[in-house]
Structures are given as structure tokens and as C-alpha cells.
Amino acid sequence: MDTTALTAHLVVVGFGKGGKTVAHAYAEAGERVVLIEQSADMYGGTCPNVGCVPTKMLVHYSGGRRLADDAQEYFAGSVAGVRALTSAFRAGNFESLNGRDTATVLTGAASFVDPHTVSVGDGQDRITVTAPVVLVNTGSEPVVPPVPGLTASPHLVSSTQLTKTTNLPERLVVIGGGYLGLEFASIYQRFGTHVTILESAGRLLPREDEDIAAAVTNVLEGDGITIITGAKVTEVRDNGATSTVQYEKDGQQLSVEAGALLPATGRRAVTANLRLDAAGVLTKANGAIEVDEHLRTSQPHIYALGDVNGGEQFTYISLDDARIVLDDLLGQGKRTTSDRRAVPHTLFTTPPLATVGLTEAQAREQGLNIKVSREKVADIVAMPRAYAIEETRGVMKFIVDADTDLILGAALLVAEAQEVVNTVALAMRHNVTATELRDSIYTHPSITEGLNEVFDKVVS
């Protein structure tokens, strides 16, 4: 076989959750699969290498530091533990696919030659792969805002670097108060770093109800994080060991010192070097690939999965993308993105904030007849689990349709919220009423049994 020109039934560009899931299904069916990943450090995609797994592991480690522990030494040991796990996951992801008789993993930068052919590498090392079906699963990357001096700052760090560095900065400034920014702020503050969040909006989490955003703010400030809202960052100046971050607030010019600077102002699809024009694949103004409800691009045999298609940037959405694509390719073609309902989200602060469905504000804007059940975690008598694990901060809130008793939304700022919200989301998808959840039998002591009480705490 000419090793510079391969043919396959499926070629996948990017080793993310969606792409590798489809690749495994094809390989199990005996179809020839070639998966291309730009970096050997990213086998398995963002989640197990620099995203979900390492960050949540750092959340776990950050809560275990004792007062007697040296902050720098404890942090370095925690990062070593993260590296060990991510290395094992990376090797496992590579071998689980490349070890199959019908699958090959190629490492290198990929770009389209034509609608059915992808090129990897350059010069004598160049390989082309041709297949009737192509998947693009290249993910997203952080956006660095155009602040003078920021890009050139030696103290600029990315979320990826913060999951790998063994140096615990004395002062971290986070630009942006979204999910990623708040998670890293919470993690590093608990490790012993002095953290300042600069958020341009008037409050944190503007998409959440004001009472929920205020509760999250109180938790973070209670942990010692400095939160400055309404702050427009105007310039970054290097001072050698630190940088000065200048910002404007209420007409005043202010500044804060930083040993590390994390921009957390969004991410963009990784498409710039794919030569999508050669394949006839259309993109949106922000660079994300245009797809239909089956995740087909402007070329019906080319699919885009995960962050690269401009949808919600979560691993479990990428996994559901894989289900849709597999149904389109190997099933009945009935599954679409419009089937998604009650998709939960979790912000992994401590305690975590998990949400699903409508906020109270959204429900009222839609003119729905609602009742709101809300109770502070510390006041939930039927949930001693919170006291047993010594985490009584937060609130549990539900939006219920007053006419049908169906749950319209929930915001759970409580320990283990990332687990409880899945029960609530499942109930929403299957039209289980608030009364049924309230009267159900749950294990004791657990956070879930808080549902026995909170649904009776109607506040409006």
C-alpha cells in the first residue's frame, strides 16, 4: 500500500468526544477509520487532557489542603496527581482506537485537499486520507481580548497552562466572570492564591436570576475572592515579576497587580487552518462551521461535532452530537439537535451551581403562570447531608408551572448539585411533576432528599 495515500470509510479530524465516539462505532462495525489529531498531548480531546477532568480534579484537591500544608508544595503535588491521571487517560484513548485492526491514529496538523480528502503533515511526511464520510471535531480555543499589553505580557496564562503549571501564583487576576473564569478563581483561591475577578457586566452570571448570582457572589467573596464588576480592562503593563492591570470603573482609573493573568472571555471554533474552502464547507462569521439539525455541513457527507459547530461547549453535548451523527449514518436518521430538552449545566465552584431549563426571569418574560419554590441550603431541615459534609452554603430554587405542576427550571447552588440536577432534568424530560419529586423516596442522608422539602417552600 502507498503509505502516503490512505483510503478509509471514515476520516475524523480531531480526537474530541464526539469524533472518537463515532470512530469507535465504525471500527466496531469493521469499517476502516482514520482519526487525525494535531497533538500527541491531546489524544482523547480537551476534556480528559486540559478541560473537565484536570479542572475538576483540581477542584477536589483544592478542598483538601490543610492549614499546616505548604501552599506551593501542596499545589505542586496536586498538579503531579493530575498529570498522572491525564497521562493514563491519554494513553488509554490512543490505544483503545489505534489498537483496533480497522483503525489508525495519525498525529499532525490536518487540512482539506478536496471535499473527500484530508492532508496531514508536510513534505515527505505528508499523508493524504480519502473517505466517503468526514467528521470535523477540532473543538475550540480561548479568545484573548484586544487589551493593549495583554498578549505580550509574560504573565499571560491560558486555562490549559493553569492545569499543568506547578507554580502557584501569589496573585491571579481573572478577566471575565463566566463559567471558566469563576471555576479557576475558586480553585486557585482555595489553593492559597489571592484572586481578583474583573467582570465588565454589572454583576456575575447575568444570564442567571439576580438572587442566584448574588448567592454565588456571596460564596466566592466569602472564600476571599475579590470581585470587581462593571470593570473595563484598558491596559496591561509589565513590571518584571508582576503585571499591572489597569481598568476603568465608574469613571475612575484603577489598577490591580497580578503574577498571573487569565483571560476568560470566551472561546472560538478551531477552523482557521483547516482549509474548509477547499472542501466547500461554509462557516459562520465567528468561524464556527454551519450545520443543519443532523450536524451535516454544506457538504452533506461532512459533519461537524462539538464546539467547532458553534453549539454549547460541553463534552456531553459533543457526545450527543455523536449519537445524532451515528443515527444519520448507521441508523434511521431521525435523531436531531431539536430533540434536546432540559439540558443541564454545572459551574464547578465550591459548592457547585447546577442549572436546567428556564430562569424565573425568563419564565416571567414569557408570561407563564408560575410558582417559585426556594430555600437556603442551611435552612433545609430534611437535608442533613449538607451539615454532615460541612457545606451549608447556597440555595435550591425551582420554577414550576402553576397550572400543570411541571418543572420549568431549577438552579441548585449546593454540594453535589452536579448529580442532583440530572434527576431534575430527567424529570423535566419525562413530565414528572414537582409533586411527584417532592413525594418520592430518596436515600438518606443525601442532597437529593432536599427535594422533599424545597418544593413546599413557595416564595411567590
One domain, residues 9 and 138 = yes
The 8-class DSSP code of residue 341 comes to -
Residue 295 domain flag: yes
One domain, residues 89 and 210 = no
From the candidates 9, 24, 60, 444, which is the catalytic residue? 444
List residues forming the annotated binding site for FAD.
Answer: 56, 138-140, 307
| 284, 311, 339 - which closes a domain | 339
With 0.85 as the threshold, say if the pTM is over it: yes
Q: Is 444 a catalytic residue?
A: yes
**Which cell numbers in the block locate residue 409?**
427550571
Sheet holding 226-229, edge to edge: 226-229, 194-199, 171-175, 260-263
Q: Which residues have a Cβ under 8 Å from the Cβ of 390 and sit 6 or more positions away?
A: none
One domain, residues 118 and 198 = no
One domain, residues 275 and 135 = yes
The total number of structural domains in the chain stands at 3
Under a CB-based contact definition with an 8 Å cutoff, are residues 394 and 450 in contact?
no
One domain, residues 194 and 214 = yes
| 265, 292, 316 - which closes a domain | 265
Determine the 3-state secondary structure of 130 from DSSP.
strand
Q: Which residue has the cell 442566584?
A: 212
- pLDDT at residue number 460: 63
> What is the spatial distance between Cα 48 and Cα 57, in angstroms, rounded to a whole number?
11
Under a CB-based contact definition with an 8 Å cutoff, are residues 249 and 232 in contact?
yes
| 339, 364, 390 - which closes a domain | 339
C-alpha of 265 from chain center: 13
Q: pLDDT for 43-73, tens place per residue? A: 998 888 888 899 999 999 999 988 889 999 9
**Which cell numbers in the block locate residue 158?**
491560558
From residue 106, alpha-carbon distances to 35, 38, 135 in Å are: 6, 8, 15
| Residue ranges in the chain whose pLDDT is less than 70 | 1-3, 460
One domain, residues 312 and 164 = no
The 8-class DSSP code of residue 190 comes to H
List residues forming the annotated binding site.
Answer: 56, 138-140, 176-183, 199, 266, 307
Count the helices and strands in the chain (H runs, E runs): 14, 23
CATH of residue 276: 3.50.50.60
One domain, residues 131 and 76 = yes
Residue 272 domain flag: yes
> What is the spatial distance between Cα 362 and Cα 391, in angstroms, rounded to a whole number?
29
One domain, residues 449 and 404 = yes
Q: pLDDT for 301-325, tens place per residue? A: 999 999 999 999 999 999 999 999 9
Pure H helices in 252-380 = 276-279, 315-330, 360-365
Residue 166 domain flag: yes
Under a CB-based contact definition with an 8 Å cutoff, are residues 332 and 344 in contact?
no
List residues forming the annotated binding site for NAD(+).
Answer: 176-183, 199, 266
Residue 153 domain flag: no
Give the residue from 39, 140, 129, 133 showing the smallest Cα distance to 93.
39
One domain, residues 136 and 272 = yes
Residue 154 domain flag: no
Domain containing residue 403: 345-454
Q: Which helix (H) or strand (E) holds 288?
A: none
**Which cell numbers in the block locate residue 459?**
416564595
Residue 444 domain flag: yes
One domain, residues 169 and 25 = no
* Mean pLDDT of all residues belonging to the chain: 95
Q: pLDDT for 199-233, tens place per residue? A: 999 999 999 999 999 999 999 999 999 999 999 99
- pLDDT at residue number 371: 97
The vertex-351 CA angle with 385 and 444, nearest 5°, equals 15
CATH of residue 365: 3.30.390.30
Residue 450 domain flag: yes
Residue 148 domain flag: no
One domain, residues 101 and 204 = no
> What is the spatial distance between Cα 442 and Cα 438, in angstroms, rounded to a whole number?
10
- pLDDT at residue number 3: 53
One domain, residues 124 and 13 = yes
Indicate the angle between helix axes 179-191 and 210-222, nearest 10 degrees: 20
Q: Which residue has the cell 413557595?
A: 458
Under a CB-based contact definition with an 8 Å cutoff, are residues 326 and 319 in contact?
no
> What is the spatial distance between Cα 375 and Cα 394, in angstroms, rounded to a whole number?
9
